[in-house]
Chains A and B, each alone.
Chain A
Amino acid sequence: MNTDRLLGATALAVAALMLAFGYGLQAPFAYEPVGPRAFPLLAAGVIAICGIMLLLKPEEPDQAHKAGSGMAIAALSASLLAYTVLFQPLGFVISTAIFMVPIAMIFGAKWWQGAVTGVVLGLASYLLFDRVLDVVLPVGPFGGII
């Protein structure tokens, strides 16, 4: 299937969701002629029109763009997701030290290069942001920096 058609179908689905969840949006007391519902539905309408146009008349596919390997994309997405989910429970330093290993390896590092990157980044940015700049980062399960 042409990617533009797929995009068009997705756009229609998004518009349908916006309509489904937006149709009931009404203010209990209306002070103004245009309520909270009109604008989202207007946007949904234009999204639907775009979707239909893409379905009927796909634009030229973007040939310049080479897709990377699906495995690498999936691995990077999964690592990022795991990192963000465990960011709070594991604490900043531990989660950074762990998950920067696979992320660095996806980009060509050996495992120990990734480990060094993760530990150095974790400690350095914890000290810089948490201690110097007062950005509160999650502490580790042991209550301190780790």
Chain B
Amino acid sequence: MDTLGFLAHGFGVALAPTNLLLATLGAIVGTMVGVLPGLGPINAVAMLVPVVFALGLPPEGSLILMAAIYIGSEYGGRISAILLNVPGEASAVMTALEGYPLARQGKAGIALSLSAWTSFVGSAIATFGIVLAAPVLARWALAFGPVEYVALMVFAFSCLTGLLTDQPVKALLAIMLGLAISTIGIDANSGVYRYTFGSPNLADGVQFATVVIGLFAISELLIMLDTMHGGASIRIEQLGRSLFNRAELRFTNMATLRGSLIGFFVGILPGAGGTVASALAYTTEKRVVEKSDPKGSHFGNGDLRGLASVEAANNSASNSNFIPMLTLGIPSSGTTAIMLGVLTLYNLTPGPALFRSQPDLVWGLIASLFIGNIILLAINIPLVGLFAKMLSVPAWVLVPFIVVVSAIGVYSGKSTTFDLVLMVALGVGAYFLRRVGVPMAPLILGLVLGKILEQSLRRALSLSAGDVSILWSSPISITLWIMAAGVLLVPMLMPKFRSWRHKTIVETD
């Protein structure tokens, strides 16, 4: 079967009533979560991990639900950014820069509908990109053995530390802590108990759901205490004309296209998600406009082109994030890492073989991204007022709700007090780590990839009877090592890049 045949098959899966329902549900819940300040896709997806098991969903159903929530919350993040200047998540910070001034000028309706449209265009372009690129990449990745996997994972880790964070040592520390957690439990090869401290609760490792919910949902509650706005009453600006017109569409077309492409390529890189993509798209668009049309530039005061490119980039990146996850089994963001972790809970090994062994899953997911984006566009233009109402839910309702869902989720796994207490302990620990600047997404990547990395490393060294030089014995692995070194060295050698990175991170974090 060729790609088109597979895609048609995928649409068959995604259009099955249950899956269609899950995608719609995910789109709605995702948008609602995205609207809420502080609650990003990663929290929503983390809390969902146990729920999908409780619902007894098949792997493709749970991935479709999680993916819909993930892309939905990118749509939702823009609503609060435009209306209130309160970005629902990091990747919406750039949206607020142009969107909020537009809302102040009484053009909130235009800003919201236009950004919904450009979000859709960005997502659609990225999804086409997935269809074109993913099967090719997967076929190529089938040549990967344990040696190449070790090099690939080291490359992914160096992207996380070198390219995209201002504090590389802390990102590295986070990855290593994730790797350390992944070693807890019985060692599959030798049967030795590692770091279980005699507790039967730890014999088969720390439950994935316990870790992600603790690290994301629980620590987020403590972070909310730090950033609470004291229940300020929220006044929403007049929406004004609710749909953009043709002139505005033509005015922003090129910006949307540029943003989509930037987002697509940034999204493929490990560690980079919507946040970096939107920042890069914004600065690029600003430079392009200032060069070609210096008089017409309203950047900072509500330029539609800025808004269009940011939203296109952000959504494009969150869709193209799926490419490395599906083809290489290397997630490029915390959210896709959690989805990957869920796949392993279904005993599926993420990676290129999935395209062959699980066409329902892979192509169903890709097709559901198309469908999910159409649903999101359809619900986001007419229902924006309804979603904005989410902002008036008080924190004292929201927080207990999160606590209860988290506790039920963790408890549903093994029904032990141990896991519940561990969830709180991890949450409090993660809160302090986040406060001193240790990012959580690399930690979860380390946790998800830890077992695969260790297994690949041991298998590779078994092949060579312990000779380490096997790790750089193939052209692919050598290339990956060089790329990894390059990613680490570029920021050190290029102060200009470092200052750009610093600016981007500060603006977006």
Contacts and interface: CB of A to CB of B under 8 A. Distances in A.
Interface in A68-104: 68-69, 72-73, 76-77, 80-81, 83-85, 87-88, 92, 96, 100, 103-104
Given A27-B190, A40-B195, A84-B421, A33 B169 contact: no
Contacts of B458: 32, 34, 38-39
Contact of B454 (A4, A39, A121): A39
Interface residues of B, number: 69
Nearest to B451: A39
A87 B420 contact: yes
B277 interface: no
Contact of B407 (A3, A18, A87): A87
B382 interface: no
Given A34-B462, A62-B436, A108-B230, A85 B408 contact: no
A120 to B, nearest CB: 9
B185 to A, nearest CB: 11
A49 B55 CA distance: 43
B403 A80 contact: yes
B421 A104 contact: no
Contact of B183 (A39, A46, A87): A39
Interface residues of A, number: 75
A115 to B, nearest CB: 11
B177 A47 contact: yes
Interface string B181-201: 001000101111011010000
Given A32-B189, A59-B170, A85-B417, A107 B396 contact: yes
A48 to B, nearest CB: 9
A58 B467 CA distance: 37
B228 A96 contact: no
A88 B435 contact: no
Contacts of B49: none
A3 B190 contact: no
B394 A108 contact: yes
A134 B54 contact: yes
26 contacts: A7-B173, A21-B197, A25-B187, A32-B189, A32-B462, A33-B462, A34-B461, A34-B462, A35-B192, A50-B170, A50-B172, A53-B169, A59-B170, A60-B167, A77-B424, A80-B221, A83-B403, A100-B400, A104-B400, A107-B398, A108-B396, A109-B396, A117-B396, A117-B397, A135-B54, A135-B408
Interface of B: 54-55, 166-167, 169-170, 172-173, 176-177, 179-180, 183, 187, 189-192, 194-195, 197, 218, 221-222, 224-228, 230-231, 394-401, 403-405, 407-408, 411-412, 415, 417, 420-421, 423-424, 427-428, 431, 433, 435-438, 454, 457-458, 461-462, 465-466, 506, 509
Given A96-B404, A100-B403, 5 more contacts: A34-B457, A39-B457, A40-B183, A67-B226, A135-B408
